[in-house]
Amino acid sequence: MRISVVGLGYVGAVCSACFANEGHEVIGMDIDAVKVDLINQGKAPIVEKDLEDYISRNVKARRLRATTDLKEAIDNSDITIISVGTPSKPNGDIDLKYIKEAAKAIGEKLKEKDAFHIVSMRSTVLPGTGKNVVIPIIEEISGKKAGVDFGYVSNPEFLREGTAIWDFYNPPKTVVGATDERSYKTFRELYSFLKAPYFEVEIEVAEMIKYADNSWHATKVTFANEIGMICKKLGIDSHKVMDVFCADTKLNISTYYLKPGFAFGGSCLPKDVRAITYKAKSLDENTPLLNSLMPSNEYQIKRVYNEFIKPLKSRKIAVLGLSFKPNTDDLRESPVLELTELLIGKGYKVSIYDPNVLKAKEDGANKALLENELWHINERLSNNLDKVIQENDIILIGNGSKEFQNIPQKYTDKYIIDLMRVTNQPSKNNYIGIAW
């Protein structure tokens, strides 16, 4: 394929060299003549392991060259990859000035080109940048229509400095969001040499993934540092602790707990977070990340009420699933229980269905708890799921029990508020997913 790369900084230089190394005809474009001259001499414009070898080899093979002329780059390519900088503004917002400049310049050049051309965003940009900023600029200036006359692709990079060449060939994943099937097909072919998982998603999903990744990486660094700070004060080797921590790939280093939904609860997480943050405080150690966990968790409960329940006109609500997770009657620090008590306190007519908690009314460990401390919950429990649903206007699905999975499709005349995503359908009309 014929590829042009706009911006020959860290990402652009690496991608140019690697795509050329795969046999593609690559033109790198940058307004900085020094970078252009270095690449045309077979030299790397940045320090990166193996990059100069890749550039030198492919310049000699005439698969890679560089120019300061964008028209030349676009005229001699079918795909243009944008890899310009996206620095921060003083207020923390992303600065899109280089993205906008690139989009304007590309729009001007596409106005003169008849052939279908794909514009790919490799720079890290916030969700909505493609559809609300880049595409409109190109369409207005070029007079062409995205998805018809030109394609737009969001294709985030996952390169680490110092191992960028290796990362290019061994990515954790390849993500492509596009305006049209023609662009998807082209990128399937472009990345066909990689063995990594390949995802075709909406453009906004592709844009958001990089931010989810980097926020998680920052969270991991901060978490490890705060655990290390506590360990240091206690005379414990934090590396031994974290070596054992990381050996757990069932819960710790895994996909578990990483599905957006409702607040955490149960007999362990809340009390242990409180205990370790109290211990840190007693050691005069500041742990901002760990300290934020309980307030954030409490906010999730208030958010569901304020954003999704309070705006509805009806005050008749059925709560399906009271325990903090399915297949248990454990009500200890259940966030659904806390939300239910909030609703009762606000004057809502609440009906509750949870077969596991119902069983506890007879002979379980929660019998005394329900009859004494939670009598206001006990008197609202029902053993008839259909009746509970039919008698209320709002249905709150509180845990992921299989019994609740077909409710959004079956009861389309009710407001369904799903805390656990029991169905894969997106929020629409009467179905409200709290994080999707």
Answer whether 104's CB lies under 8 Å from 133's CB: no
Q: Where would I find the beta strands (DSSP E) of 137-245?
A: 150-154, 174-178, 198-201
How do beta strands 150-154 and 174-178 pair?
antiparallel
| Active-site residue flag, 268 | yes
Q: What is the distance between the alpha carbons of residues 397 and 321, in angstroms, rounded to a whole number?
A: 7
Write the Ramachandran bin of 321: left for phi over 0, alpha for psi from -120 to 50, otherwise beta: left
Contacts of 361 (CB under 8 A, 6+ apart): 367, 370, 378, 381
| Residue of 401, 434, 432, 400 lying closest to 415 (CA atoms) | 432
- Phi/psi of residue 381, each to 5°? -75, 140
CA distance 66 to 132: 30
Q: Which of 15, 18, 246, 268 is catalytic?
A: 268
Tell whether the torsion through CA atoms of 361, 385, 354 and 326 is positive or negative. Answer: positive
Residues marked active site are found at 268
